[in-house]
Amino acid sequence: MEFWPRTEEEALAAQEVLRSRVVSVRLPASPRTVAGLDVAYDGDRLGAAVVVLDYADLSVRDTALVIGRPAFPYVPGLFAFREVPSLLDALEKLTVRPDVLICDGHGLAHPRRFGLAAHLGVLTDLPAFGVGKTRLVGEFAPVGAERGDRSPLVDAGETVGAVLRTRSGVKPVFVSAGHRIDLDTACAITLRLTPKFRLPETTRVADRACRDLLQLTERHRG
């Protein structure tokens, strides 16, 4: 990438430009493959993982791993700028192009409506959404206790996501569309990817892959 912001002001300006390119549409058909993206940290190093799963049986179709360093300081609301370059590098290494990207983070449920999932979706022009473990913005009414129950996540009068119960009696997750996907489809895919656990299989497999990568490279460095 020829240019990457170096200051908070540059990042905010880039975010504003990219945000205008977000598109919200319904997927024309069910995806054949879905990719989980995650990043783990070890001091000043990071491990980025993209794992592509078959949507029908959730088997792993492809994996790409990258060791890198954060590309931007930690600034609330600009977290994507730390991770996007390494995640893009990992996406470039894939031999199976995924139909949908699923980020461990947020899409429109962001103070400026441009979280990691929206950022990656715009830069790759792939459908993308986020499934967060915790809330970044917004308020919501209590969610029903059964799997599939959901409540709108509302920020400043705008519905920016959904609080979705993926396992009965287990705390919900925060789903938000990023790019080229609508919220209902994002929630439906999330439920398909959570047959046994609270978090999508895409997130679970990618999280394990990037943590294993850091541990393996640390042993080699030692």
Q: Determine the straight-line distance between the first and last CA of the chain, rounded to whole angstroms.
A: 32
Q: What confidence score (pLDDT) does residue 164 get?
A: 98
pLDDT of 185 above 50: yes
d(CA 217, CA 164): 36
Mean pLDDT across 170-181:
98
SS3 181: coil
Q: What confidence score (pLDDT) does residue 220 get?
A: 62
Residue range 60-71, pLDDT digits in tens:
999 999 999 999
Residue range 137-168, pLDDT digits in tens:
999 999 999 999 999 999 999 999 999 999 99
Count helices and strands in the chain by DSSP H and E runs:
5, 8
Residue range 194-211, pLDDT digits in tens:
999 999 999 999 999 999
Q: What confidence score (pLDDT) does residue 5 get?
A: 94
Kindly report the average pLDDT of the chain as a whole number.
95
Mean pLDDT across 86-107:
97
pLDDT of 222 above 70: no
pLDDT of 1 above 60: no
Q: What confidence score (pLDDT) does residue 218 get?
A: 73
pLDDT of 3 above 90: no
pLDDT of 126 above 60: yes
Residue range 21-33, pLDDT digits in tens:
999 999 988 999 9
Mean pLDDT across 88-98:
97
3-state secondary structure 72-117: CCCCCCCCHHHHHHHHHHHHHHCCCCCCEEEECCCCCCCCCCCCHH
Residue range 28-63, pLDDT digits in tens:
889 999 999 999 999 999 999 999 999 999 999 999
